Amino acid sequence: MKRVHNFSAGPATLPLEVLKKAKSELTNFQNMGRSVMEISHRSAQYTEIDRQAKTHLRDLLNLGDDFEIMFLQGGASSQFMMVPFNFLDENETADYIDTGRWSNKAIKEAKVFGNVHRPYSSSESGYDRVPTDDELTFSDNPAYVHFTSNNTVAGTQFPKEPETDGIPLVCDASSDFLSKPIDVSRYGIIYAGAQKNIGPAGVTVVIIRKDFLRKADTEGVPTILQYQTHAEKIFNTPPTFNVYMVNLVLEWIQDKGGLEYFKSFNEKKAALLYDEIDRDDFYRGAVEKDSRSLMNATFRLPSEELEAKFLSEAEERDLYTLKGHRSVGGIRASMYNACPMESVQTLVDFMKTFRKENS
């Protein structure tokens, strides 16, 4: 069975162990004579999958009972709209830290419902950094502070939660969800499209603190778009196979050692690659060093012609999906939890050879 070195930013590589287990159960889940895709979302078997996945999340994040967990659809892009629809009205202001393409899209949606203040923006420098706490200038009484914890296009990441003096954080954690421990007490909402780090595309994890949820305004909000609709129940048919896959990945994360293990593992992978990028001027990191992402390393070569050659020769060595986002170009290597150290080492070895042959 051929497996390439997959550096896709998303949908991204999945653990081979998870794929093999899903394959073994694909046509006959729990000896039912049916696939998990063919059973009712109201069945005892699927109800147990949903329960297990939420239990795994509570355990991994130390959530306790003061958070609701929901498996919704529409990706993080739907949450750009749902969050302000539920928590922002025309007379209120929400603060959105602007650090990239996705935070900017979230800002656009929020402006439909209320006022948006940007306490910081790195747009003028090409989104090449995230702010320090002393660079944040919040509005007087924001409903919440929104930030994108990891920016896949630029290749930047917040090393910790921004300090907000008690204002609830709303976080788009799509591309570094469960890659490291976080301080959940700081958050009102955490949402994440699964396709980066915990499963296939098609399911979005939404975690809401219950006291924050009670502040949601339901007037004028369609039933399906109210967070209360999905609290403690499965309101409509969820993407059942995707949730099944997420559950398997969560089990895999726990078996490996949880978030502390992956924090260390991801730091080691990133250090290996960034050390090679920084060896000389042939490869150039695309963002400031203090803001570098552990998930998405972005860099440039001396010319676009060399970058095209780099990508072509990389594929000859089974190193795939290294092309930077279409809006910025360059090279991007995405190293989510399931990206093995072997893949990063193979990439680094190729980078050494390519530099030697093209300097």
Active-site residue, from 196, 252, 269, 323: 196
Active-site residue, from 172, 176, 252, 269: 172
Active-site residue, from 54, 95, 98, 102: 102
Tens-level pLDDT at each residue, the chain (359 residues): 799 999 999 999 999 999 999 999 999 999 999 999 999 999 999 999 999 999 999 999 999 899 999 999 999 999 999 999 999 999 999 999 999 999 999 999 999 999 999 999 999 999 999 999 999 999 999 999 999 999 999 999 999 999 999 999 999 999 999 999 999 999 999 999 999 999 999 999 999 999 999 999 899 999 999 999 999 899 999 999 999 999 999 999 999 999 999 999 999 999 999 999 999 999 999 999 999 999 999 999 999 999 999 999 999 999 999 999 998 999 999 999 999 999 999 999 999 999 999 98
Q: Is 172 a catalytic site residue?
A: yes
Domains of the chain are 16-256 (3.40.640.10), 258-358 (3.90.1150.10)
SS (H, E, C) the chain: CCCCEECCCCCCCCCHHHHHHHHHHCCCHHHCCCCHHHCCCCCHHHHHHHHHHHHHHHHHHCCCCCEEEEEECCHHHHHHHHHHHHHCCCCCEEEECECCHHHHHHHHHHCCCCEEECCCECHHHCCCCCCCHHHCCCCCCCCCEEEECEECCCCEECCCCCCCCCCCEEEECCCCCCCCCCCHHHEEEEEEECCCCCCCCCCEEEEEEHHHHCCCCCCCCCHHHCHHHHCCCCCCCCCHHHHHHHHHHHHHHHHHCHHHHHHHHHHHHHHHHHHHHCCCCCCEECCCHHHECCCEEEEECCCHHHHHHHHHHHHHCCEECCECCCCCCCEEEECCCCCCHHHHHHHHHHHHHHHHHHC
Residues annotated as binding site for pyridoxal 5'-phosphate?
76-77, 102, 152, 172, 195, 236-237
Q: Is 252 a catalytic site residue?
A: no
Q: Is 102 a catalytic site residue?
A: yes
At residue 134, the pLDDT reads: 95
Residues annotated as binding site?
42, 76-77, 102, 152, 172, 195, 236-237
Q: Is the pTM of this model over 0.85?
A: yes
